[in-house]
Amino acid sequence: MENHLEAKIREARERGLFDNLKGAGKPLKLPACDGTPEEYRLAYTMLENAGYVPEEVEWLNQIAALKERLAALENPAERAEVVRKVQALQLKVDLFRESLR
């Protein structure tokens, strides 16, 4: 199986299919270890560098933005609503990660 995949990759490279890929020749931006299982990190990094963000990463970005917003809020009702949203998104992330194990 591995030899077959290597042959397909080599054939595609020879045909020039990899020549104009976004980010070609640039180093990958490697994220810090964020709780993503090790076996998925490289794939997620490659997808992100290609402009695709997995749903889990989008949730984490939303959590970060909500936490920044939370720091600026003074109204207790607004703070409670933002905390609820953060908790709901964190639960999604946790459940998703648990499903990967």
Average pLDDT across the chain, whole number: 85
- Residue 10, pLDDT > 60, answer yes
What digits encode the pLDDT tens for the residues 54-87? 788 889 989 999 999 999 999 999 999 999 999 9
pLDDT band at 35 (very low <50, low <70, confident <90, very high): low
Q: Which amino acid is at 54?
A: P
Spatial distance between the Cα atoms of 7 and 79, rounded to a whole number of angstroms: 56
Q: Which residue has the tokens 């020879």?
A: 14
